[in-house]
């Protein structure tokens, strides 16, 4: 952590929402301007819903429309708690009713195309929405052809990724319930970059907690193509303490890199061997959500390049891309980062519509992981603009201490729940 603020105080700021408000951008909304200014936001997740809310909050005269075909949104944060049997889907599901009460127009349709010249969004019904500025928050999609034998159909039926919270989250939990005691769970994370870097390892922890409680003869094997992973030392220490002999991590040298999968035999072929599992959680390599490709917002990397000051696309003017789909430098792809970017984009759009230059932002990210009830860890960072783009401020943020005492780990678990309750209230409340 920086010497200017203790880790505990930083966590308290996050818990109360102070640090989450993208430092220095929200001193006041300034004078309102003509209500004819129209901003359309596509996507109602952490990034899109944050952008919509803060656009309206910072300038109530704006016409803000949120295009989101789903009536509710299940959050990926805390979905691992559902998989591990610690929460239910309704507890992580948000609606758009509060945003509508704030004067945001909710359009329950899918956007199918955008005309950046005419500044229009075409909906599935054929209706056109006109905009002065457009925010696109399409989330992620998967590279279904990354592994031979893998497909979206297989993910929906027997090898769920459960990395877009919803039916597959429930399916994976039910598979654990149905598995025999003494069974093997395979968790197969992707290569970087991907959504929520600590997510697969928190998942392994909470799956192990469920198995230790209900099926103690079982084990978890993580097949990982990466040499290292987020919060590795903290996770490894926690696994040794909480689940000795139950979780095995295999990096690429130990056969962690997948070549193909076989749904019929419930097996995964790696570069070294074939591994069978009773439950197999394949988390495929990722790219920007399909809408980003449809709208021509991606580059050769499969992600969306943006101006880091405003998150305006470098490909199409007046279109801003936020959240997991964008290339945000050193910022990880996380719900907190997406919300932070949504607020930055909102502030930038308001200034741009007034003919003013955006203020260079400072952004914040944090990610809590639960290894067991009462045992939490976290990573946090503060980011700034530099000639290289968005970079982490040296000495900012940091990790839970590797030698953290039990009361610190318990406090981190408490902060995790407080953080979640606060951020969903901040975005959808």
Per-residue pLDDT tens over the stretch 27-38: 444 444 444 699
Calpha distance 169→296 (Å, rounded): 30
Close Cβ partners of 236 (under 8 Å, ≥ 6 residues apart): 249
Q: What is the pLDDT of residue 234?
A: 99
Alpha carbon distances (Å) from 117 to 62, 121, 131, 204, 317: 21, 11, 11, 47, 9
Calpha distance 402→238 (Å, rounded): 10
- SS3 state of residue 412: helix
Q: What is the pLDDT of residue 397?
A: 85
Pairing between β-strand 63-67 and β-strand 267-270 as defined by DSSP bridges: unpaired
Per the DSSP assignment, residues forming a β-bridge with 304 are: 326
Q: What is the pLDDT of residue 14?
A: 52
CB count, 10 Å around CB of 307? 14
Sign of the C-alpha dihedral computed for residues 292, 298, 301 and 306 taken in this order? negative
What angle do the packed helices 406-428 and 46-58 form, to 10 degrees?
Answer: 60
Buried b (16+ CB within 10 A) or exposed e, 168-203: bbbbbbebbeebeeebbbbbbbbeebbbbbbbbbbb
Domain annotation for the chain: domains and CATH numbers: 7-69+109-139+289-428 (3.50.50.60), 148-282 (3.50.50.60)
Calpha distance 151→8 (Å, rounded): 44
The answer to whether residues 203 and 230 touch, using CB atoms and an 8 Å cutoff, is no
Q: What is the pLDDT of residue 26?
A: 52
3-state helix, strand, coil in the chain (%, to 5): 30, 25, 40
Q: What is the pLDDT of residue 2?
A: 37
Question: Which residues does the chain have with pLDDT short of 50?
Answer: 1-5, 15-24, 27-35
Calpha distance 232→394 (Å, rounded): 20
């Amino acid at each position: 952590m920086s010497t200017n603020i203790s880790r505990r105080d930083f966590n308290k700021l996050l818990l109360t929402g102070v640090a989450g408000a993208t430092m220095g951008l929200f001193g006041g909304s300034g004078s309102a301007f003509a209500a004819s200014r129209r901003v359309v936001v596509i996507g109602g997740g952490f990034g899109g819903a944050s952008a919509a809310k803060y656009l309206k909050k910072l300038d109530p005269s704006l016409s803000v429309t949120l295009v989101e075909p789903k009536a509710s949104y299940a959050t990926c944060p805390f979905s691992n708690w559902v998989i591990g049997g610690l929460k239910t889907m309704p507890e992580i599901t948000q609606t758009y009713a509060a945003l509508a009460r704030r004067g945001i127009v909710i359009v329950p349709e899918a956007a199918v195309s955008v005309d950046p010249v005419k500044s229009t969004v075409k909906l599935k019904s054929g209706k056109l929405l006109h905009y002065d500025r457009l925010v696109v928050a399409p989330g992620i999609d998967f590279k279904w052809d990354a592994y031979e034998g893998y497909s979206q159909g297989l993910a929906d039926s027997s090898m769920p990724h459960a990395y877009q919270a919803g039916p597959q989250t429930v399916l994976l939990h039910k598979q654990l319930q149905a598995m025999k005691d003494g069974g093997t769970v395979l968790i197969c994370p992707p290569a970087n970059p991907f959504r929520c870097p600590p997510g697969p390892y928190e998942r392994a922890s909470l799956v192990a907690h469920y198995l230790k409680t209900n099926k103690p003869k079982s084990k978890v094997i993580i097949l990982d193509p990466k040499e290292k992973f987020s919060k590795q030392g903290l996770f490894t220490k926690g696994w040794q303490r909480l689940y000795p002999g139950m979780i095995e991590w295999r990096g690429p040298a130990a056969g962690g890199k997948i070549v193909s999968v076989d749904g019929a035999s419930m097996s995964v072929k790696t570069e070294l061997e074939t591994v069978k599992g009773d439950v197999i959680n394949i988390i495929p390599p990722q790219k920007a959500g399909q809408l980003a490709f449809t709208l021509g917002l991606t580059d050769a990397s499969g992600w969306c390049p943006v101006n880091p000051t405003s998150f305006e696309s470098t490909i199409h003017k007046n279109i801003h891309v936020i959240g997991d789909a964008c290339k945000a430098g050193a910022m990880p792809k996380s719900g907190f980062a997406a919300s932070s970017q949504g607020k930055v984009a909102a502030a930038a759009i308001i200034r741009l519509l007034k003919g003013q230059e955006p203020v260079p932002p400072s952004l914040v990210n944090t990610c809590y992981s639960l290894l067991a009830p009462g045992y939490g860890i976290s990573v946090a960072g503060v980011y700034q603009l530099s000639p290289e783009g968005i970079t982490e401020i040296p000495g900012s943020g940091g990790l839970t201490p590797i030698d953290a005492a039990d009361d610190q780990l318990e406090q981190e678990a408490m902060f995790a729940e407080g953080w979640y309750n606060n951020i969903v209230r901040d975005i959808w409340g």
